[in-house]
Amino acid sequence: MFIFTGRGRTFLLDTHRRKIPHRFAEDDPRNNPPWVQMYVGLWRPVPPVQGRGWAEYSTDRFTVPVVGAVSRDGRYSVALANGSADSLANAWHDCLHNNPLWEPAAAPAAEKRWQVKVYLMPNDPQALLERMARDFPEAMDLQRRRAPEQQRASGAP
């Protein structure tokens, strides 16, 4: 599983993951490392530890609204992308959650839409970003907005 951060394509094992103590014991395998994690975009501050949800928010933030997985043989990838999500979620199994916003925000409910594309392609992160930039140019603009950096808190390594 991967997202894109300021470090480029970033796999789950390389993100800071906050434990979920209200769901699983400290020594539970699902908490070592945490098996589910939420992520927000650079343009949002990371929410504080909630202590009651199904997952906590990583202190790592994504740069574009895309979440994906690489095939076990490393040759292919699948990704979900859109132009508006401000949060993503993923888990250790191949579970992708890409949460687009209903737009336009000011439109009546019957006129709001969201669009998600599924990319099945060779495992080439740069090609994925290039395709996404063509399909969702507004997503690439999100990288220019940035919420203030925060200190790593609650379970930081």
Domain segments of the chain as ranges: 2-144
- Cα gap 67→40, rounded to integer Å: 12
- Show Cβ contacts of residue 156 under 8 Å, excluding neighbours closer than 6 positions: 16, 59
Report the run of H or E that residue 140 belongs to, with start and end: helix 137-141
Q: Assess whether pLDDT exceeds 70 at residue 12.
A: yes
pLDDT in tens, 79-121: 999 988 889 987 766 677 888 888 888 999 999 988 899 999 9
Closest CA relative to residue 81, chosen from 13, 135, 34: 135
Element (H, E) at 68: strand 66-70
- Quote the DSSP letter at residue 86: S
Is the pLDDT at 136 greater than 80? The verdict is: yes
Pairing of strands 36-40, 56-57: parallel
**Per-residue pLDDT at 79:** 95
At 4, list the tokens: 């894109």
Q: Which pTM value belongs to this model?
A: 0.83
**Exposed, middle or buried, 116 (CB in 10 Å: 0-12/13-18/19+)?**
middle
